[in-house]
Chain A
Amino acid sequence: MPSYRMQIYGWLLLLPAAVLLIAFTHYPTVATLVQSLFLSGSVTRPAVFVGVENYQFMLEDDVFWQAVRNNIWFALGTIPISIALALQMALWVNRRLPARGLVRMAYFTPTILPMIAVANIWLFFYTPGIGLIDQFLGLFGLPGHNWLGDPDTVLACLIVLTIWKEAGFFMIFYLAALQSLPPELEEAGKLEGAGRWYFFWRITFPLLMPTTLFVVINALINSFKLVDHLFILTKGGPNNASTLLLYYIYEVAFSFFDPSYAATLTVALLAFLALVAIGQFVLLDKRIHYR
């Protein structure tokens, strides 16, 4: 077969995947970048090229900065705790314990629930006066609190919900990694007199680092990606105290009908996430042992 026919053959094999990737990933990314340089048009008025003006506007936008701050707190609040909890749960259900399957399932259940359902469950927990938390506090004669209506507590409430939802998911990865560790390592440790705590920090944890990196990146992406619960619980309020970046982008695009500015915010979010991912791989990759 002549070589050009091999070439065509090769390209035809690549075509389906290439079409999907270009149509739904690469084209939208480029289009977003282009659109962020224009001012939104309308039926009567065409879009106008404005260069970096949208970005200048973004930097002066208080709500944008509020969303960034919220998002950083949200990430800092959810990632370390959900990962620590996931690891703890994985270590626990990896041991011999009665009804292990049941415990594993219980830990994983929050993950398989749709976020909307989860948000509705927690809405009931947080409802002032009649909610589960307030009723519980009432047993001890403590006053109720409008958990989601108070700018000081609303973000913490969202963090708790997200940890509850995510920890079980990350646990599955840790559990799989733990089960791939050969049991002789632990036996060798036992013979040498290594205690559980020492062995965990010296052997288990370093060997789990590839999983940890994977989980950290996933958790970080999720903390910028998960907004479903905001629609049910707070809609970003009160006073933007619970607005996260993606939710703000949604509002700008579909409530304020300013797709160009939404595109600008999207580019900023993408750039930030790309930077974080690169940083994580460069910094951590060298120090991680892959088998």
Chain B
Amino acid sequence: MSEIVLDHVSKVWGQTTAVDDVSLTAAAGELLVLLGPSGCGKSTSLRMIAGLEEVSAGRILIEGRDVTRLPPAKRRISMVFQSYALFPHLDVAENIVFGLKVRKLKWAERSARLARVAELVGLGELLHRRPAQLSGGQRQRVALARAIVAENPICLMDEPLSNLDAKLRHDMRVEIRALQQRLGMTVVYVTHDQTEAMSMADQVVLMCDGKIVQAGRPEDLYDRPATTFVASFIGTPPMNLIDLTDGPNGAVVAGAAGRAVLQGPGHGLRLGIRPEHLRLADGAGIEGEIVSADYLGADTILTARVGNQSVLLRVPGRSGLATGEPVRIAWSPESVHVFDGTSGRRMEDGRAVPVAA
């Protein structure tokens, strides 16, 4: 059992609190992604799990063992750094077996493991090159190989793909995920890229300002965002957040005297709806006006003005709509989220009932 538990962990530097009372559990064999904008405390959390940063308060348990005060080497973890942290004067093979040499493994065991890992990550031909002679993707593989050769059950990854180009990033994403599942490793993966989080994670922990905003499966965060921050962070393009106001027959979109979109008062509420859940309608729907169209190939992202709010729609193919053209926008009631305008929190279903537009 190689689970990782953070129990009310905080990190304070003088006046600033980088990580504020964070508790989470990564189950054995799970890929947990720490997601958030830069400066949200996700890297600091990872470095505390690694033991590279001291914990100000709280406990960290790995496999049920309290490791809060243990040095990094005693925690039985591996780590992949954002900069890869390869030793520039050692060749690929020496880089990979560095830790095995430190632990004085026998030559035969070392070379057997090296061969196995090199095969696994596809580095066979490159073992005698220096890091400077490798491409970014190959360096990434060396860093990965060094992390898995130790055969530790836990691997920490700090934005491992951020130095790669988009195509390679996609390939490595798939590869890391496959490798993690094949070896049954518990991985804590830090990234600011929600696509990485959504596509790789068993569990996503979204952080902001040192606190956990929401934790759960990727689909939980996508389907039921707990706050407007989550709603706007997950998904490309992010969820529309539309200010509402009171109308004669229920809540209406601010600045638009059209149909009611919710029953009851609307002042101080925000309506959340994803661009992919909006559609262009003929008769029904609320009135808007096209501001711009962003053609992406498979689909087009339209920006429309409704009242004084701007709304994004994802429509298939090329829309053929010109700027300034009037449109009607419709959605089905089950795809609507309602948030409190001041706190940003999700309103429990039932308190505000969506109506079909």
Contacts and interface: CB of A to CB of B under 8 A. Distances in A.
Contact of B87 (A185, A191, A193): A185
Interface in B51-74: 51-52, 71-74
Contacts of B52: 187, 190-191
B98 interface: yes
Nearest to A191: B72
Interface string B64-92: 00000001111001110101010111000
A126 B216 CA distance: 76
A190 B89 contact: no
B85 A184 contact: yes
B132 interface: yes
Contact of B78 (A182, A191, A202, A207): A191
Nearest to B152: A191
Contact of A193 (B89, B102, B130): B102
A143 B162 CA distance: 70
Given A184-B83, A198-B102, A191 B73 contact: yes
Q: Is the interface of A mostly helix, strand, loop or mixed?
A: helix
A192 B88 contact: no
Contact of A191 (B77, B83, B132): B77
Contact of B85 (A185, A193, A198, A291): A185
B73 A193 contact: yes
B312 interface: no
Interface size class of B (residues with CB under 8 A): 20 to 34
Contacts of A207: 87-89
Nearest to B84: A184
B50 interface: yes
A291 B150 contact: no
Interface centre among B51, B85, B103, B132 (most CB of A within 10 A): B85
Interface in A52-103: none
A291 B88 contact: yes
Contacts of A187: 50, 52, 72, 79, 81, 85
A192 B85 contact: no
Contacts of A45: none
Nearest to A188: B85
B89 A192 contact: no
A190 B87 CA distance: 13
Nearest to A181: B88
A188 B89 contact: no
Contacts of B83: 182, 184
B81 A190 contact: no
Q: Which of A188, A194, A206, A207 has the most CB of B within 10 A?
A: A188
A242 B50 CA distance: 57
Given A185-B87, A289-B88, A193 B79 contact: no
13 contacts: A182-B83, A182-B85, A184-B81, A185-B85, A187-B52, A191-B73, A192-B102, A193-B102, A193-B103, A194-B99, A202-B98, A207-B88, A289-B89
Given A191-B99, A194-B98, 9 more contacts: A184-B85, A185-B85, A187-B79, A191-B50, A191-B77, A192-B73, A198-B102, A289-B88, A291-B88
